[in-house]
Amino acid sequence: MSSPQWFITGASHGFGLLLSLKALKAGHRVVASVRNKTKSADAVNQIEAAGGQILELDLNESKESITKKVQAIGPIDYLVNNAGFFVLGAVEQVTEQEAHIQLQTNFFGPLFTIQAALPLMRQRRSGTIVNLSSIAAQDPTPASGLYASSKGALEALSSSLAIELAPFNISVLIIEPGAFRTNFLAALTPPSAPLPDGYEGTIAQTATRAYIEKDGKQVGDPQKGVDRIYEAITGESGPAGHLKGKVLRLVIGRDALERIRKTNGKFMQDLAAGEEATLSTDY
């Protein structure tokens, strides 16, 4: 029996690189994507030295191009949509181009890779699709509106997809990380347009600065985060191994857990406060 085949996007750094190396160390086959082999030479060398293959893929390519590249891999056991980036700025501040690129990379790109991989997964009646989201999808903060929207869209897609694919024995897993000490914040895209007049001194401005200042100070250990993700995907023994195929979402990071508990608590308060109005709308 051949070892499992992984396809992991966004492997030039962070979770994508670490997960690629972990799967390769376990003797699995890995195709990992980077946007540019030259610019990601260090990651490319590490993955290839460990026995993996590199695919140049930019999620801003056309659907036709993404489909052709993904389907050329052949049957995929574990599809991990990890590639993504963060457009920073107040909602009013974000440009049309930034909004399009944010959604293309974080939502449409994963959608197209999923659509490309599914025919063979359905034919084989097996497979796992893993979508890297963010705690921001559940708890959006100021200056992260576009990023949170792209991840929220990916989560909604994943929830529906999980139900659609259950008859084919294909599982879907959403990963909701908190703040991990990767280069994620260092690589964020700063606003190209200035903050509109009137926002000076508001939470939108202070939140933008806070994101930049948090780089390198995140509480999450990326290797431990990847270990939990790997366990939940494969069922390997560890704190998350028993979750394989049993949960739709995996929250990783102490800060993420605290934030989601707080936002869920607020949602339940709103639900209770509006219950009379909610129930007054039937015929």
33 contacts 56 by C-beta, under 8 angstroms: yes
Is residue 147 flagged as an active site residue?
A: yes
- DSSP assignment of 99-157: HHHHHIIIIIHHHHHHHHHHHHHHHHT-EEEEEE--GGGTS--TT-HHHHHHHHHHHHH
5 contacts 79 by C-beta, under 8 angstroms: no
Among 78, 147, 211, 230, which one carries the catalytic annotation?
147
Is residue 280 flagged as an active site residue?
A: no
109 contacts 151 by C-beta, under 8 angstroms: no
Residue holding tokens 């039937």?
Answer: 282
Among 12, 20, 133, 149, which one carries the catalytic annotation?
133
Half-sphere exposure of 104 (CA within 13 A, CB side): 13
262 contacts 252 by C-beta, under 8 angstroms: no
- Strand duo 78-81 + 53-56: pairing: unpaired
Among 20, 134, 151, 230, which one carries the catalytic annotation?
151
Is residue 151 flagged as an active site residue?
A: yes
What burial class does residue 167 get, using C-beta atoms within 10 Å of its C-beta: 0-12 exposed, 13-18 middle, 19+ buried?
Answer: exposed
Q: How many residues does the chain have?
A: 283
Q: What is the dihedral of CA 139, 113, 79, 151, to 10 degrees?
A: 0
Cα separation, 101 vs 193, in Å, equals 15
Residues facing 8 on adjacent strands: 32, 80
Active site residues per annotation? 133, 147, 151
